[in-house]
């Protein structure tokens, strides 16, 4: 499973790097702001997770992640120079997979290091949403995480489904895949039908 | 003293979670932005302190803090759905206690881990103000810490009073309580009489 | 070389503290926002580097850095109270030296701890630009790093020149000085002739 996860993780990093590059494009950034923003979005969440769990930061151990980030940013720049139209719709679908994957990877890492389940769910959510949060804060946007279609709650639901399956006695090998599926489907559904969670009555 | 500190620390976390939730309410956030903002405000400062001191992050070891944060946020949401009026005045007084407590807890943790006194004062200040700083940055406010009534200098004064008492030869058990008292009183006085510290002449 | 680096590092910290204080002055901050902003700018980049490399944070081990930051901030405040005019031009030149120095120190620290070269270059860049990035985010400016005259790419070029010299077989003692020179000269040239790196075609 480790190999699968490594490749899927790299795919998640690439998707997030593309989304950071697109934000830099919208903000008409020059110079190297693109690479800074792509890196922050792609590896920010996982970096915070590893620091908080006191593990070696994942992109320091394995330089594949740095090269993937740079490569994805450069390819996106090349694409945008050739054609101003970008398939945003496919990106959103890919982004849902990236979110789900970061979520599950974050949980797995926390559980392997003996964190309690509630902490593991928090770690999955942080891994999934923190990169995008940083991207938006740096660009002076109100973070998408905070009022966009169930971004964070999708991660938490995925985490809870993992916990439910585990406590129900299923083999631990199936739990991440089930949580991955739940997170992806819920994210896609939230985007498709514009689910909201209005916690305050704002008349 | 450890038990007292644990309970007071939980109270500080709860107060900060409430203040984060109120900010989310003012900004009319939907979905789970509330919980993200409450968590950042409540545990952000302590998390940074533990990471910089290379200690286990406090809420990973002890899940009470996560549950307290969530509970305080949910109760505040429930309150706001019933009544749009919120006792902001009492919250500010509670917030002064939260600030003082985080300040002293931060100093104690640094000193126990053999940090020099100047570093301990910096750690107390970081624990006290960083959560609120993150809250304001995420919400695109100019942070309250930076130009509001002596927020950070209150922490530093509390820290200096701790150092003064210790060097004057008092028993180390009294120092935190004295620093707690100094910080609370100074914060309340700064709010009551709108103390300012104009460092620049801005005619 | 260690002693030289220590003094140069302190000088870099002082320059960044001054730049943070000047930003607080422009934003008409009161109270202790000045010291918060000066500290974040001066020690933010190095703190993040040490946390990610899992090393003791540099200003916790050696209190010289805290005192230098405070001293530089207070001297700048005193200057600004006497004379509203500040020699910004000299500051920019000093800032170029600070950037170069942080860059090289960050690389050295990463290489000593057995990081691969690509990670070391990333660490140098983070050390150089992260403090200024935080300063701008807190003050709600679009970070200078993201669209100002080749800030980040200067660091990366300096890092690449270090790597080139090392792989060309030169003695490791000369590499940091050469990288320092390349970074300073490139930064000064970028400021002098307003170099830009337009990655997108924004007609």
* Residue among A11, A125, A2 at smallest CA distance from A65: A11
C-beta atoms surrounding A114 within 10 Å: 10
pLDDT digits (tens, 9 = 90+) for A95-133: 778 788 888 888 888 888 888 888 888 888 888 888 877
The answer to whether C107 and C121 are in contact (CB under 8 A) is yes
Nearest CB neighbour to A25, from listed C116, C150, C200: C200
Amino acid C2: pLDDT: 62
**Residue B93 domain flag:** yes
Which residues in chain B are contacts of C40 at CB distance < 8 A? none
Band (A192; pLDDT cuts 50, 70, 90) = confident
Say whether B146 and C138 touch across the interface (CB within 8 A). yes
**Residue A202 domain flag:** no
**Residue B140 domain flag:** yes
Say whether C33 and B118 touch across the interface (CB within 8 A). no
Which residues in chain B are contacts of C30 at CB distance < 8 A? 147, 196-200
Nearest CB neighbour to C37, from listed B146, B153, B202: B146
Mean pLDDT of B32-39: 79
Nearest CB neighbour to B196, from listed C31, C54, C140: C31
**Residue B71 domain flag:** yes
Report d(CA A108, CA C169) in Å as an integer.
43
pLDDT at residue B203 above 50?
no
Say whether C52 and A57 touch across the interface (CB within 8 A). yes
The answer to whether B120 and B159 are in contact (CB under 8 A) is yes
pLDDT at residue C201 above 60?
no
Helices B64-82, B33-52: inter-axial angle, 10-degree rounding:
150
pLDDT digits (tens, 9 = 90+) for B138-182: 776 666 655 555 677 788 888 888 888 888 877 777 788 888 888
Mean pLDDT of A68-88: 82
Termini Cα distance of chain B: 49
pLDDT at residue B11 above 80?
yes
C148 shares contact with chain A (CB less than 8 Å): yes
C33 shares contact with chain B (CB less than 8 Å): yes
Which residues in chain B are contacts of C31 at CB distance < 8 A? 146-153, 196-197, 199
pLDDT at residue C108 above 50?
yes
Report d(CA B42, CA B25) in Å as an integer.
16
* Residue among A156, A157, A74, A94 at smallest CA distance from A122: A156
Domain that holds residue B9: 2-192
Band (B202; pLDDT cuts 50, 70, 90) = low
The answer to whether C58 and C4 are in contact (CB under 8 A) is no
Report d(CA B124, CA B106) in Å as an integer.
4
The answer to whether A127 and A158 are in contact (CB under 8 A) is no
**Residue B9 domain flag:** yes
Say whether C119 and A29 touch across the interface (CB within 8 A). no
**Residue C203 domain flag:** no
pLDDT at residue A140 above 70?
no
Amino acid A135: pLDDT: 80
Question: Where does A62-150 have alpha helices with state H?
Answer: 64-82, 88-112, 117-138, 144-147
**Residue B203 domain flag:** no
A196 shares contact with chain B (CB less than 8 Å): yes
Side-chain half-sphere CA neighbours of B5 within 13 A: 14
Residue of C nearest to B135 (CA): C138
SS3 track for C11-75? HHHHHHHHHHHHHHHHCCCCCCHHHHHHHHHHHHHHHHHHHHCCCCCHHHHCCHHHHHHHHHHHH
Residue of B nearest to A140 (CA): B140
Strands (E), C82-188: none
**Residue C21 domain flag:** yes
Residue ranges of B 61-80 with Cβ closer than 8 A to chain A: 63, 66-67, 77, 80
Band (C203; pLDDT cuts 50, 70, 90) = very low
Domains contained in chain C, number: 1
C13 shares contact with chain B (CB less than 8 Å): no
Mean per-residue pLDDT over chain B, rounded: 79
* Residue among C19, C176, C44 at smallest CA distance from C101: C176
Amino acid B98: pLDDT: 79
pLDDT at residue A1 above 80?
no
* Residue among A40, A171, A177 at smallest CA distance from A107: A177
If you search the block for the tokens 């009489």, which residue do you land on?
Answer: B193
3 state SS of B133: helix
Mean per-residue pLDDT over chain A, rounded: 79
ipTM of this complex prediction, to 2 decimal places: 0.73
pLDDT at residue A23 above 60?
yes
B160 shares contact with chain C (CB less than 8 Å): no
C123 vs A139, higher pLDDT: C123
């Amino acid at each position: 499973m480790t190999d699968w996860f490594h490749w899927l993780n790299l795919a998640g990093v690439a998707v997030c790097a593309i989304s950071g590059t697109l934000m830099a494009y919208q903000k008409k950034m020059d110079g190297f702001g693109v690479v800074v923003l792509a890196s922050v979005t792609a590896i920010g969440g996982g970096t915070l997770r590893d620091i908080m769990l006191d593990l070696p930061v994942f992109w320091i151990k394995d330089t594949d992640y740095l090269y993937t980030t740079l490569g994805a940013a450069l390819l996106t720049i090349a694409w945008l120079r050739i054609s101003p139209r970008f398939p945003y719709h496919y990106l959103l679908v890919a982004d849902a997979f990236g979110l789900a994957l970061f979520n599950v990877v974050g949980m797995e890492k926390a559980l392997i290091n003996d964190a309690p389940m509630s902490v593991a769910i928090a770690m999955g959510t942080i891994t999934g949403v923190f990169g995008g949060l940083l991207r938006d804060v740096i660009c002076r946007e109100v973070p998408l995480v905070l009022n966009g279609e169930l971004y964070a709650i999708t991660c938490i639901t995925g985490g809870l489904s993992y916990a439910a399956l585990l406590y129900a006695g299923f083999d631990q090998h199936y739990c991440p895949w089930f949580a991955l599926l739940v997170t992806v489907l819920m994210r896609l559904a939230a985007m498709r039908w514009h689910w909201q969670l209005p916690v305050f009555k704002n008349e």
